[in-house]
Structure 1
Amino acid sequence: MTWLAAATADAQNSNSCGLMVMAHGGGDQWNTAVETAVMPLREEFPVAIAFGMANPVTMKAAVTELEEQHVDCIAVVRLFMSAHSFLHQTEYLLGLREDPPAFFISHGSQAHHGSKLLPLDLSTRVKISETALLDAPEMGEILAANALALSDSSGTESVLIIAHGAGDDKVNAEWIQKLDLLADSIRSTGLFSEVAVHSLREDWEDKRAKSQKKIRQFVEAHSQDKDRTIVLPFRLYGFGPYEAVLEGLAYRSNGRGLLPSPAVTEWIRRTANELFLELEEIASAE
């Protein structure tokens, strides 16, 4: 056992910390993929999943589930693409900031005025992850594995990674920058003629139209003669709307997102352990 693993185990045992995993949620297959990724961690410490976009109902249920297991502290790992996703709302709900968000999401995409949102009633210390999947080098490993699984090793193939993206131009640029770093895991194989990243910005109609045009242009330009384009979705599970976006174009994809992969489980474990250690330090200082 390494010193970090030993320290982590001590922190867990002395504090009886639990883990809340926040995930967007989707259909049965989507949710099952998350539950399967989390399952190995249930043997290591108490775990509860809160599906939804920082949904106060599911978050409260997760807190209650953990508190009923007599945890002293809760590490919150947000299984979102971007660290910006629902951060303000999450911090407010967990009592880590006093100002409510201007608007909050309750169910689906319904937005309500933030003044109607009340913090959750907590009796345990909480620490939230400050990073997300775009920050995780493990996700680059998954992308590389998915690309290699689809490749014919001819060296003439291009790879296009498509992500959700953001409405705010600055935040979207951050998505692209981080995704491009993850794409280096594919470039480092030396097996592909080009590796590009694009965001669809799929929830913002005017920006989506421009992004969709660029995505289609890339696939058209790189799928001629002997060339071929491999399309990888940077989504937690599944292919999302990309089949419709690429309708009529020649490309190869298995529609596989980041899950299923043990690398996602490892990232959740690593992030949780880091939070457990921080919670131990907080407890020791009190």
Structure 2
Amino acid sequence: GGHGGHGGHGGHGGHGGHGGHGGHGTAAPAPPSRIASSAILTTAGGLDAHPLFAETLLNRALELSTQPAEETIILTAHGVGDDKRNASWYVTLKALAEEMVQAGGDAFRGIEYGTWREDWPAKRKPEIKRLRGIVEAASANGGRAIVVPARTLGTGPEAELLKGLDFLLGSGFAPHPNFAKWVEMMADEALAELTLLPSKATPPHPEDAAATEESGEAASSR
């Protein structure tokens, strides 16, 4: 009986969900955070060149790195079928590469990037050929290719599409402490946008403001 389960650590500080204690119902926080993150990704239309994301991708490369001056990091993204939207993926990848350079990635020989577009047969051939060429060039003359998927979870089709080439393969954004931070920031931003919407339609009342203040510590501490 009455030992009150999870007392003590009070509340829902957004970092629950990975605590490995007790399989008796305390594992419940995990699914919502995953749902939240995929919902945010869907609404945000994929990842942007967030400094936390760039830092994590650089960490992934550093985990595999022995001589950065001889190594090229190659960021690979899923991409999309639509050419205009895929071009915007390239803009994001370029910005990520630039963020990585700022964060210490300039120690590497270079940072390259590309999209696979593997779900679109008509589009993927030139992309795969291009990325294979980049990996081949990076691993020539004593160089090493470190392929890092620019995606939230795990890896994509890299191992299969780069078969026969010499490269090291890193993992994506999650699991990593920065991913949790990033999801929390995205959620805060999404909530901030949602709370702004109704106030345009209805004039704010003082009692509303008080209620928001009580419930929105996170917002006011920013």
* TM-score after normalising by structure 2: 0.69
Counterparts of 1:10-29 in structure 2, within 5 Å, are none
Which of these residues, 151, 157, 160, is aligned with residue 71 of structure 2? 157
* AA at the equivalent of 1:213: K
AA aligned to 1:176 is Y
Aligned to 1:53: none
Which residue of structure 2 lines up, in the alignment, with residue 269 of structure 1? 184
Deviation (angstroms), 1:130:
4.2
Query: Match of 2:107, as an amino acid?
Result: L
Distance of aligned partners of 1:133 and 1:212 in 2 relative to their CA distance in 1, 3 Å threshold? same
In 2, Cα distance between equivalents of 1:233 and 1:154: 18
Q: Calculate the aligned-residue CA RMSD, in Å.
A: 3.1
Instruction: From the superposition, tell whether residues 241 and 278 of structure 1 become closer, same or farther in structure 2 (CA, over 3 Å).
Output: closer
Q: Which residue pairs with 2:11 in the alignment?
A: none
* Residue in 2 that maps onto 1:140: 54
CA–CA separation in structure 2 for the residues paired with 1:76 and 1:247:
31
- 1:246 shift after superposition: 0.8
1:47 and 1:226 map into 2 onto residues whose CA distance is: 46
Residue 47 to residue 185, structure 1, CA distance change in 2 (3 Å): same
Deviation at 1:142, TM superposition (A): 0.9
Structure 1 residues without counterparts, runs of 5 or longer: 1-18, 20-34, 51-74, 86-128
Moved segments of 4+, more than 3 Å? 46-50, 129-132, 278-285
Work out whether residues 52 and 178 of structure 2, in 8 Å CA contact, stay in contact via their aligned partners in 1. yes
- Per the TM alignment, residue 279 of structure 1 is displaced from its structure 2 partner at its CA by 3.3
CA–CA separation in structure 2 for the residues paired with 1:132 and 1:246: 24
- Aligned pairs (5 A) from 1:41-56: 42=29, 47=32, 49-50=34-35
Whichever of the two has the greater Rg, that structure is 2
**Structure 2 CA distance for aligned equivalents of residues 186 and 276 of structure 1:** 28
- How far apart in 2 are the matches of 1:224 and 1:217? 11
How far 1:282 sits from its partner (Å)?
3.8
Decide whether aligned partners of structure 1 residues 267 and 131 sit closer, same or farther in structure 2, where only a CA change above 3 A counts. farther
Q: Quick one: distance in 2 between partners of 1:239 and 1:76? A: 17
Specify the SS of the correspondent of 1:159.
strand
- Cα distance in 2 for residues equivalent to 1:186 and 1:195: 8
Greater helix content: 2
* Structure 2 residue ranges without an equivalent (≥5): 1-13, 20-25, 203-222
| Deviation (angstroms), 1:214 | 0.6
The aligned residue for residue 194 of structure 1 is 110
Cα deviation code 1:81-117 (max 9, x no counterpart): xxxx5xxxxxxxxxxxxxxxxxxxxxxxxxxxxxxxx
Cα offset for 1:154? 4.2
Deviations 1:224-281 (A, max 9, x none): 1211111001122222211011111111124x11111121211221122223333334
What is the CA-CA distance between 1:283 and the residue it aligns to? Answer: 4.5
Aligned to 2:96: 182
Equivalent residue for 1:78, pick from 36, 39, 55: 39
- Counterpart in the other structure of 1:211: 127
Change (3 A) 1:154 1:280: closer
TM-score normalised per structure 1: 0.55
C-alpha change, 1:277 and 1:207, in structure 2 (3 Å) is: closer
Aligned residue pair count = 178
Identity of aligned residues (%): 32
Letter in 1 for 2:126: K
Question: For 1:135-187, what per-residue CA distance to the aligned partner results, in whole angstroms no more than 9, with x for missing partners?
Answer: 43321111111111111134111111110001111100100111111112332
Taking structure 1 as reference, are residues 206 and 227 closer, same or farther at Cα in structure 2, changes over 3 Å only?
Answer: same
- What residue in structure 2 maps to residue 121 of structure 1? none
* Cα pair 1:159 1:230 within 8 Å, conserved: yes
Shift of 1:48: 6.3
Distance 2:151 2:18 in 1: 16
